[in-house]
Structures are given as C-alpha cells and as structure tokens.
Structure 1
C-alpha cells in the first residue's frame, strides 16, 4: 500500500482532478489530505462533493485546516466572520450559499468528522499546520493549534543544518516523529513551487491558492505530481491573490 499526501486545495477542483489523473495510484493505496479544501477558487462545495465520492472507493484520511473550520463556523451559525471573508472566505461563502440545504448538511457532517492530525505506523505525523508542544500535538493546550500554528515551519526554515540531533539545542518537538507532513504556509513564500523539506518536516502546500500548483507526494519514495499553476485553470478568477 502506498501513502499519498495531498496539499491544500482551496476550492481548486480542476487542479485536484488534473493532478489525480497523473498520479499512479490503485484502490489499495491511501490518501491523506492535509486540509484547507475550501476558500480561494470558486469550487469549494464541488471539491467537498468530489472528496465524498472519492472516499467511497479509496482509503482517505481527511485532516482539518483552518479554512475548513472557518467555513464550518459560517455554515452552522449563518454569520460570516470578517477575518474569514478578508482571507478567502468570500469564494467559499458564495459557493455554499448556492447549495441546497440537504447537501449543505451532508457537507457539514464531513467538516465535523475531519481529524486534527494523524500518526501512521511508521511514526510519521500529518497535520495541517504544525504544533508547539515539545511532546507532540496530543499535548497541545488548544486543539486548534495544529491547524493554525506557523512556528513549526518557520523554525525548520531557519534551523542551523549543522546542528546535530543529539545537541541539547536541537528542537525537542522535532524528535517526536520520524517525519512530519504539513501544509498551511505556501512554499511560494520562500520562492518554491515544489514540496520542500527542512529537518524532518515536509511542506506540501505549494501555493495552489495563490500562484502555485497543487501537489501530491508519495511519502515513501518522495516522488510527487503537480497540476498546472491553478491560476491558469481559473483564468477569470483571482483565487487568494
């Protein structure tokens, strides 16, 4: 069984369909989606509808992203938070306002059932953003840290590559897992549009919401597949740009 990790989709259904077409997977393989399925491009609700159908025939683990939580808050309360609307929520709101109530409730159940993080049998951690507690995400005081925090990625980006694992200054939280897979902070912020690795952390958010492609990676071989730049698939939209 292969394990594929899928980066942040942000309403880009065309990109998801395109990258899946080029990914050599079978029905026995597993997909781990890192969250942020919505907000950005115009197809937030169609992305969730696609994932629900896809999971009927494939093993899937769906993780929670911060945008997924923000959209869920709106769907359950009917009150859009200004911060959400300012950061991609307008497209998510528009997509879901057009959905009938029955299907909307079906999608709400999908969002409620998302997992905050996942650890596989090879001690690899998967979460949307990161964690701060030196003993791992299970010890976070605030559960939503794992889909909001950016300090894990900022830390490994600036980590001294000469620092040995047994050095007392080596970050304790990195030692909990063999590998860590995250999204949330686009690699385009450091000028890259491919999966990027520092220390034992792999960032699979290659900027699909902005100017980059959507990425799927095989966690064992590190081979990866990408869509076109998502902005080219939605030429009349701005995404989160």
Structure 2
C-alpha cells in the first residue's frame, strides 16, 4: 500500500537519512515529502543533496524549500552570505562545497532552484517548511519568504487554548483553512520534545536533528513515525550546531 511519508529537517545528516529510510522500510510505492532544511549543521550536506537527487529519479518525491536551502542557493549563485548564516551551519557547508567540482555545484544549484514553497494535497493537507501569514491561505501569501522563515503559525498553535472550539470567533483563521498542516523549521526540542508534536491541526516534524535530537520520518495518515539515532551520536567528530 502506498504511504505518504514526511521527512523533517535533515541539516546535513546524511547518515540519519539512510537510517530512517531503512527503518521505515521505504519503497518506490511511497510518496516522500521532505519539509526542507536539507543542509547546514552536520558535515554531509552535499551527500544529502546527492541522495535526494537520486531519490527523485526512483521515488515519488516532493521537496520543500527551507531557509537554510535558500541561503545556500544564494551563496552558490553569488558567493555572498551573511554572518548569521555563516555562524549557524553555513561555514561547514561552504567548506564542503568549495571542495566540489563546478559541475557538481551546478547540479546542486539546479536542484535547490527546483524546490517548492509549499505542497497542498488532494485531501487539503498543507506541507510547508515554516508557515504562512495570509489569513486567506498560502495561495494569497504576499511575502513568499514566509513559507520558509516565519514562526508565528507554530507559536500560535503552542499558545492556543486546547479547549477552544474551531467555531469560536477567536480561533485562528489560518488553522481552519486546511485539514492538517505539516511543518518543520522550529525544532520541538525547544519545548523539550524529540518526537513529532501535534498542536491544534499543526504537526511539527522537526525533531531537532540539527542539535541533540533525531531525524524523523512520519506517516501522514497513521501518524506512525520512525527515527534515526540522535544525530550528534552519528557525528562524534563534529561539534555541529548543538
């Protein structure tokens, strides 16, 4: 049976991706939805992108654009960067890419250019890296950078009264537009968790692979999930971003 499997923020953890694909017993009949932030953090960002390009050829894959992916793309295109990115994973990524051939860098540039801002499936389920701000939904978003930078969607979900009905006049309108919303971007380790967290109809699948958490792959229908080892244990020689 075909599954829709969601993969949280990878952050250069190639070894963890291999683990979750094996542990979830992923096959070519599964649809794989990657929520973005493929790079920065651990030292195998190019290997991650190579693997995703390979998976695109053999599996049904949909790739979201994360803020770190966009920052890498800007650097590949212009060789410019900001210090904040450089100090939050970008430095090790640029070192890795400087060691690659121009042809490989161009191939990865094309892949990063092809990423999606969001994906809306036939069941009215939204998949997006970070969130959106427009009260009429993603198709009306004025500022497309919000898809991979904003945090208010998740912050609102965390602050929402769990007993508030969807019909209440103060219920967040953004939450009523879609059956479910799957995001990454803000690691659940910030609230002391290392598993996917559900608030209202929002599912956060960033389980902190960039820090002390594992990488997660989750079945969108059953909510069953599989995880890698804590990623920092897979890269004992690196400090990473933890």
Tell me the CA shift for residue 29 of structure 1: 1.2
Tell me the CA shift for residue 84 of structure 1: 1.1
Q: Is the 8 A contact 1:132 1:140 kept in 2?
A: yes
**Structural mapping, 1:109-124, within 5 Å:** 109-124=110-125
In 2, Cα distance between equivalents of 1:94 and 1:36: 18
* C-alpha RMSD of matched pairs (Å): 0.7
Tell me the CA shift for residue 138 of structure 1: 1.6
Secondary structure at 2:62 match in 1: strand
**Structural mapping, 1:119-138, within 5 Å:** 119-138=120-139
In 1, Cα distance between equivalents of 2:159 and 2:193: 16
Q: Is the 8 A contact 1:5 1:216 kept in 2?
A: yes
In 2, Cα distance between equivalents of 1:2 and 1:181: 15
Aligned to 1:94: 95
Query: How high is the TM-score relative to the length of structure 1?
Result: 0.99
In 1, Cα distance between equivalents of 2:95 and 2:13: 14
Aligned to 2:210: 209
CA-to-partner distance for each residue in 1:6-36, whole Å, 9 max, x for gaps? 0000000000001111012321110000000
Q: Is the 8 A contact 1:208 1:229 kept in 2?
A: yes
Q: Is the 8 A contact 1:36 1:64 kept in 2?
A: yes
Tell me the CA shift for residue 213 of structure 1: 0.0
2:161 pairs with 1:160: yes
Aligned to 1:18: 19
Question: Runs (4+) of structure 1 moved beyond 6 Å?
Answer: none
Aligned to 1:105: 106
Q: Is the 8 A contact 1:74 1:81 kept in 2?
A: no
Secondary structure at 1:4 match in 2: strand
In 2, Cα distance between equivalents of 1:118 and 1:160: 28
How many residues end up aligned between the 2 structures?
A: 241
In 2, Cα distance between equivalents of 1:80 and 1:162: 45
Tell me the CA shift for residue 238 of structure 1: 1.5
Tell me the CA shift for residue 109 of structure 1: 0.3
Which consecutive unaligned segments of at least 5 residues does structure 1 have?
A: none
Tell me the CA shift for residue 94 of structure 1: 1.2
In 2, Cα distance between equivalents of 1:24 and 1:123: 26
Secondary structure at 2:228 match in 1: strand
In 1, Cα distance between equivalents of 2:21 and 2:27: 11
CA-to-partner distance for each residue in 1:85-124, whole Å, 9 max, x for gaps? 0221111111111110001100000000000000000000
Tell me the CA shift for residue 240 of structure 1: 1.0
Secondary structure at 2:57 match in 1: coil
In 1, Cα distance between equivalents of 2:12 and 2:217: 16
Secondary structure at 2:130 match in 1: coil
Tell me the CA shift for residue 176 of structure 1: 0.5
In 2, Cα distance between equivalents of 1:84 and 1:25: 33
Tell me the CA shift for residue 56 of structure 1: 1.0
Aligned to 1:61: 62
In 2, Cα distance between equivalents of 1:87 and 1:167: 40
Which consecutive unaligned segments of at least 5 residues does structure 2 have?
A: none
Query: How high is the TM-score relative to the length of structure 2?
Result: 0.98
Secondary structure at 2:58 match in 1: coil
2:20 pairs with 1:3: no
In 2, Cα distance between equivalents of 1:81 and 1:223: 38
